[in-house]
Amino acid sequence: MSESLPISLYLVPTPIGNLKDITLRALEILQSVDVILAEDTRTTGMLLKHLEISNSLQSYHIFNEHKAVEKLVERMRRGEVFALVSDAGTPAISDPGFLLVREVIAAGLAVQSLPGPTAFVPALVNSGLPNDRFVFEGFLPHKKGRKTRIDSLVDEPRTMVFYESPHRLIKTLEQLAEAFGADRQACVSRELTKIHEENVRGTLEELIAYYETNPLKGEIVLTVAGKPERKESREEKQEKRSKKYRD
């Protein structure tokens, strides 16, 4: 379907730490829409105050999104224009947003996502691990299904990116080391774009040892190398050539 309709919903990324990481276009949209939908109106309210933007705020989060979607779509049908923001980063990336986007599109209305801050991209690039192909896993399940999810990634050849909380980081590193091998390379990135930004690189075993004596806080992105490709031995290559000749 052609996107010739006026935009009803804008997805607006907000800074993940450094408040200068807001685009001119994001400022323009936040100033011009009828309503800003915010994951936490207090957090977004402080950002808007810093940006000197005065606009209508409405709460939209994981606990009310199912109830709110139908009414929001109806208001968009009547011509209201909304911007959706999360507490930090790009809406719908491990935050509420997917359900609203899906229903707005299903209603034949137009959605537009602005480019901007998201934590996993700088963490991936900073890690020094291959980033031509990667898989974003977001948060692992806290309990049920956690081991199953990790086991499903044992043979994953692409670099893997996870979000994690400080109090679960060591447990996650230990579980990944058990599944992938303690010598698998990884990088822990925290407080991205902030004054105390830190990227710690090493094997899973080295990272476990480091964080056992260096408690941490803040938002964390964990980047883990994929399973290395197994190189054929000289004997295996010779056997292949011999087999090809015999065939």
* Nearest Cα to Cα of residue 220 among 151, 128, 126: 126
Cα separation, 201 vs 129, in Å, equals 10
Cα separation, 195 vs 11, in Å, equals 27
Cα separation, 8 vs 76, in Å, equals 6
Query: Which pLDDT does position 243 carry in this prediction?
Result: 60
Count CB neighbours of 55 within 10 A: 14
Model pTM score: 0.86
* Nearest Cα to Cα of residue 215 among 193, 194, 195, 200: 200
Query: Which pLDDT does position 2 carry in this prediction?
Result: 47
| pLDDT tens sequence for the chain (247 residues) | 445 789 999 999 999 999 999 999 999 999 999 999 999 999 999 999 999 999 999 999 988 888 999 999 999 999 999 999 999 999 999 888 999 999 999 999 999 999 999 999 999 999 999 999 999 999 999 888 999 999 999 999 999 999 999 999 999 999 999 999 999 999 999 999 999 999 999 999 999 999 999 988 888 999 999 999 876 556 655 666 666 565 5
The 3-state DSSP class for residue 15 equals: coil
Q: How far is CA 90 from the centre of its chain?
A: 8
Q: How far is CA 47 from the centre of its chain?
A: 21
Tens-place pLDDT, residues 197-206: 999 999 999 9
Whose tokens are 């109106």? That residue is 41
* Nearest Cα to Cα of residue 99 among 60, 42, 59: 60
Q: Which domains does the chain carry?
A: 7-113 (3.40.1010.10), 120-224 (3.30.950.10)
- Tokens at residue 156, please? 């994953």
The 3-state DSSP class for residue 78 equals: coil
